[in-house]
Amino acid sequence: MSVSPVSSPLPLLFGKARRPLGWQGYTTEVPEGWNPGKYSGTRARGDLRVDDENGMRLELRWEESQKTPDVEKSVANFLQTLQKDAKKRKSAFQIVENPHIVSRGRKKKEQVTSFGWIGEAKSEASCGFGAAWFCPTCDRVTFAHIVGQPNEKVAKIERLAQEVLGPLECHGEGGWDSWSFFDLQIEIPSEFELGRAQILLSKIEMEWVRKRPVGLYGWGRRAERLKLWRFPAASALLSDIQLEDWTRFNLLNTHKQLVYPNPAEAGRVNGHDALIYGGKIKDPRQAVPVWFFDKLLRRVTPKPILHVWDCPLSNRIWALESEVSKANLHVGRQALDSLQCH
Ligand SMILES: [Zn+2]
Ligand SMILES: [Zn+2]
Whether pLDDT at 3 is above 90: no
Which among 95, 130, 128 is positioned nearest to 113, based on CA atoms? 130
Q: Find the CATH number of the domain harbouring 304.
A: 3.40.1000
Q: Rounded to the nearest whole angstrom, what is the distance from the C-alpha of residue 172 to the centroid of ligand 1?
A: 8
Whether pLDDT at 2 is above 70: no
In a domain, 306, yes or no: yes
Same domain, 194 and 157: no
Q: How many whole angstroms separate alpha carbon 298 and alpha carbon 116?
A: 60
Same domain, 284 and 328: yes
Beta-carbon contacts of 46 under 8 Å, excluding residues fewer than 6 positions away, are 24, 39, 40, 61, 62
Same domain, 273 and 298: yes
Q: Rounded to the nearest whole angstrom, what is the distance from the C-alpha of residue 136 to the centroid of ligand 1?
A: 7
Q: What is the mean predicted confidence (pLDDT) over 61-82?
A: 93
Residue of 103 and 50 predicted with greater confidence? 50
In a domain, 3, yes or no: no
In a domain, 107, yes or no: yes
Whether pLDDT at 160 is above 90: yes
Ligand nearest to the CA of 310: 2
Same domain, 158 and 191: no
Same domain, 293 and 155: no
In a domain, 5, yes or no: no
Whether pLDDT at 10 is above 70: no
Same domain, 134 and 241: no
In a domain, 175, yes or no: no
Ligand nearest to the CA of 173: 1
Same domain, 47 and 195: no
Which among 62, 318, 332 is positioned nearest to 224, based on CA atoms? 332
Domain span holding position 72: 13-165
Same domain, 216 and 271: yes
Q: What is the mean predicted confidence (pLDDT) over 124-142?
A: 95
Give the pLDDT confidence of 182-196 residue by residue, as tens digits.
989 999 999 999 999
At 295, give phi and psi (nearest 5°).
Answer: -65, -50
Q: What is the mean predicted confidence (pLDDT) over 249-255?
A: 92
Q: What is the mean predicted confidence (pLDDT) over 263-271?
A: 87
Provide the pLDDT for residue 67. 87
Residue of 177 and 17 predicted with greater confidence? 177
Q: What is the mean predicted confidence (pLDDT) over 61-78?
A: 93
Same domain, 31 and 75: yes
- Identify residues whose C-beta is under 5 A from ligand 1, the ion: 135, 137-138, 170-171
Whether pLDDT at 1 is above 60: no
Ligand nearest to the CA of 62: 1
In a domain, 77, yes or no: yes
This prediction has a pTM of: 0.88
Decide which of 114, 136, 165 is a domain's last residue.
Answer: 165
Q: Rounded to the nearest whole angstrom, what is the distance from the C-alpha of residue 211 to the centroid of ligand 2?
A: 31
Number of domains in the chain: 2
Q: Find the CATH number of the domain harbouring 19.
A: 3.40.1000.10
Q: Rounded to the nearest whole angstrom, what is the distance from the C-alpha of residue 68 to the centroid of ligand 1?
A: 14
Q: How many whole angstroms separate alpha carbon 325 and alpha carbon 103?
A: 42
Q: Rounded to the nearest whole angstrom, what is the distance from the C-alpha of residue 339 to the centroid of ligand 2?
A: 9
In a domain, 177, yes or no: no
Whether pLDDT at 218 is above 80: no
CB 339 within 8 A of CB 307: no
Q: Rounded to the nearest whole angstrom, what is the distance from the C-alpha of residue 123 to the centroid of ligand 1?
A: 33
Provide the pLDDT for residue 16. 64
